[in-house]
Structure 1
Amino acid sequence: MTTLQAAAWGLALAAAIALPTWAASVPLRDASLADRVWATFIAAPAALYVALLGSDPRLTVMLALLLAWALRLTVYVTRRNWGHGEDRRYQAIRARNQPNFGLKSLWLVFGLQAVLGWVVGWPVLAAATGEPWRVWDGLGAALALAGLLTEAVADAQLTRFKRDPANQGRVMDRGLWRYSRHPNYFGEACVWWGLGLMGMSGGGWSAAWCLVSPLLMTVLLLRVSGVALLEQDIGERRPAYRDYIARTSAFIPWPPRRSAL
């Protein structure tokens, strides 16, 4: 089987995951179900590529990292959103796309995320060449693992902070959050740049197209569904956050500035 054929099967699998999830979301009026299957849109096609094109040490490590990432994120998002109804981001999308948002969400939310997830998984497809393990693979795997641990620790710290009633209304600026306003997003970006490096190591410069994956994820995290979206009005809703913004790096962990006087 060729790489192009495997890619087509991967896209079909992502679509097959999106369709029933969309169908379940319509009666529930909860398009944020897409967040719970986001990791599956990426991991399922990647696992299919390995099954169709064969495995080697590089792909085994990549798939192990990817599946660990997908499992952690899916469990975290599902537990965080359970019982809270539709996320406010999706409520805003729903309001902007009336009438018949239920139908429109098939392509505006679920179809779009299926395609984006398929693209993000391209490094695994690029790496399926059978080339031997190289130093770049070790560096990429280390970066991806460090990113996975960073986002896991950051999410755990934030969850623990929110569970303490004494922190109601306060800004989380402890642990990793002291050095970055979004250490979980930074860790996420590291995961995909690490896997992208491994994809390039396996496929060479002719596989540079796989770097669309980390580039896309970085843009999404910084400009679309991540930092920019979360902080667009948070300073108005939570004045203490303005000082946090002034003294703390938005993305890359860095020692905080002394004060925002």
Structure 2
Amino acid sequence: MHLDTRNLRRVAGTAAATVTALQAGTAVLALRAGRRDYADGVWGPGLAAVAVTSALVGNGDATRRWTLAAATTAWAARLEHQMLGRLRGSDEEDDRYTEFLEGDSVPAVVGKVFVTQAVAQLLVSAPLQLAAASSLPSGRRRWLFPAGVALMVAGASVEAIADRQKSRFMAEKERAKDRSEDGEAPEELQVLDTGLWGWSRHPNYFGDSVVWDGAWLASAASAPGAWTFPAPVAMSYLLVFATGARRTEKKMEDRPGYRDYQRRVSFFLPRPPRSRR
């Protein structure tokens, strides 16, 4: 369970330089275009870049560091495809950014969005960095590595299925609007409450959190990796409170049928839904 601290410093330094370069480049593009929401487009690629550079620079167990790099890159590629589709599909900035940054100067925007996101990326990716500079033990603890990777795959699958179900629902809703005389979708298409969305109101965010729980578990196969537990905790906090579920709830709560949906379906952790009144 050896941790090469000198190599870890090199891995961490490379990760910091990589994230800084990506965030700086995105900030320049975003500010020129007046689209601060471009920050969403660099979240996944930044984490994938850290995973890959950590695997390149690290001297820890090769199988683990490259497996984690591959799993993170696959997760990021799917997320980026979705993010780019959303960003390209609108000529206007996401309302979340407009409201959050209203009246802010350029330095304030850079600090609140791009610097904050860079720090978050480095914190969330801490298990990947530590795993890249650590060897695996020879005992039973080493099985935490494949268990963690399996958890990453499971979480990514839940996230992908949830996003696919949402995309189908939104497409069906738009078709219904086009067919209706008043341009409104019927009541049953106001709230998605089937599939995974019938067990959790935010299954995509839940799946995302499980991905990073798995990354932490894989790193914890080496004893020092267990100390990076603030990383998955931070990711869950971001997904629930900072940029994800709570903001979505606030935006959706006045939609017809959403209050009943909140009553019946779990907020985050999946569970069987309550029956309708």
Whether TM exceeds 0.5 here: the answer is yes
- Find the aligned partners of 1:31 and 1:146 in 2 and give their Cα distance: 32
- Find the aligned partners of 1:126 and 1:103 in 2 and give their Cα distance: 32
Identity, % of aligned positions: 34
Matched-pair contact (CA < 8 Å) for 2:54–2:65: no
Matched-pair contact (CA < 8 Å) for 2:10–2:57: no
- Find the aligned partners of 1:208 and 1:146 in 2 and give their Cα distance: 21
Matched-pair contact (CA < 8 Å) for 1:247–1:258: yes
Q: If the length of structure 1 is used for normalisation, what is the TM-score?
A: 0.92
Q: Which deviations, in whole Å up to 9, do the C-alpha atoms of 1:162-204 show, x marking residues without a partner? A: 0122273610111111111111111101100011000111x31
- Find the aligned partners of 2:31 and 2:117 in 1 and give their Cα distance: 16
Q: Which residue of 2 aligns with 1:152?
A: 160
Which of 205, 222, 225 is the equivalent residue of 2:240?
222
* Deviation of the 1:234 alpha carbon: 2.1
Which of 213, 222, 225 is the equivalent residue of 1:207?
225
Q: Which residue of 2 aligns with 1:166?
A: 176
* Deviation of the 1:132 alpha carbon: 5.0
Which of 73, 76, 83 is the equivalent residue of 1:77?
83
* Deviation of the 1:248 alpha carbon: 0.2
Which stretches in structure 2 are left out of the alignment for 5+ residues? 1-5, 178-184
Q: If the length of structure 2 is used for normalisation, what is the TM-score?
A: 0.87
* Deviation of the 1:76 alpha carbon: 0.8
* Deviation of the 1:81 alpha carbon: 2.4
- Please say if 1:105 is aligned against 2:105: no
Matched-pair contact (CA < 8 Å) for 1:50–1:59: yes
Query: CA RMSD of the aligned region, Å?
Result: 1.6
Which stretches in structure 1 are left out of the alignment for 5+ residues? none
Matched-pair contact (CA < 8 Å) for 1:22–1:105: no
Amino acid at match of 1:181: R
Amino acid at match of 1:135: W
Distance change (3 Å), C-alpha of 1:99 and 1:192: closer
* Deviation of the 1:41 alpha carbon: 1.9
SS in 2 for 1:75: helix
Alignment of 1:1-261 (within 5 A): 1-54=6-59, 56-84=62-90, 85-95=92-102, 98-100=103-105, 102-128=106-132, 129-131=134-136, 134-164=142-172, 165-166=175-176, 168=185, 170-201=190-221, 203-204=222-223, 206-236=224-254, 238-259=255-276, 261=277
Amino acid at match of 1:175: G
- Find the aligned partners of 1:191 and 1:160 in 2 and give their Cα distance: 23
Matched-pair contact (CA < 8 Å) for 1:41–1:113: no
Matched-pair contact (CA < 8 Å) for 1:126–1:200: no
- Find the aligned partners of 2:247 and 2:20 in 1 and give their Cα distance: 26
SS in 2 for 1:32: helix
Please identify runs of 4+ aligned residues in structure 1 that moved more than 6 A. none
